Every structure is written in structure tokens, then in C-alpha cells.
Amino acid sequence: MDIASSLAAYWYFHLPNFILAVLMYTLLGRVLLGLMVDADSPNYIWRFFCRITDPVVAAVAIVTPKVTPPVLIWLFSFVWLFWLRVALHYTLLLFNLAPRIGGAAS
């Protein structure tokens, strides 16, 4: 199955997986950019990263002890999103609804 057919056939997997991947890598970008800019920086890339990842960070902060510093919560959010992607693929795989390994799951 080529990539275009896989995208069409398994859109219910690829779309959430893509959104989760975007959030995951943006969080990684936020961590790296956070090393160089202040938390209240007006830099538009920083503000964009913060705006789209803040809901995830807020959700993860609820299930993380309060002693955890913000940068660790961002990294924890990255890991949460990774495992959410794994859970999504594995759940669909159990119901024989996901693309197999090598079927453009990345």
C-alpha cells in the first residue's frame, strides 16, 4: 500500500497521530527554545510554541506533583504524548484497524 492510499484508508489513525506528533515535537522545540529565551519573551515563535502546547502542559501538570519544575513538566508532556501515540496505534492494532509496521505509521 503506498503512502497516499494508506493516508486515505487509515485517516482515523494518521490524523490524530499527526496532531499528537506536532504537539510532541513542538514541546521539544519549546524546551530547546526555553534554554535561550525568557519565559515572558515577546518572540513570536516562543509565543506560538507556548500557545499551542499550553493546554497539554496544563493537563499534564494536573497529574504531576507540584514540586516538578516547569521545564520537567514540558519534558513529561513530551513523554505523555509519545505514549499516547503508542496507545493509539496499539489500540487500533488490537482491533485490526491500524496500518501494520512498515505501513507509514511514522
Partner 1 sequence: MSRNFYFIGIAFFGMINGIFNQLALIFTLLYVQLLAGPLLFGSLSLTLMFASLMVSTATVILGGIPAAIYERVTGASESTDASLWIWLAGTALLALPATGNFLKIGL
Q: Quick one: angle between helices 11-34 and 44-62, nearest 10? A: 110
- The grid coordinates of residue 49 equal 510554541
Give whichever of 96 and 106 is closer to partner 1, judged by the CB atom: 106
- Does position 94 interact with partner 1 (CB under 8 A)? The reply is no
- Residue 61's contacts (CB-CB under 8 Å, 6 or more residues apart) are 73
User: Distance (Å, rounded) from C-alpha 51 to C-alpha 36?
Assistant: 18
- Does position 69 interact with partner 1 (CB under 8 A)? The reply is no
Applying CB under 8 A, among 22, 68, 70, 71 the residue interacting with partner 1 is 68
- Footprint of partner 1 (CB under 8 A): 21, 25, 62-68, 75-76, 79-80, 82-83, 85-86, 89, 101, 105-106
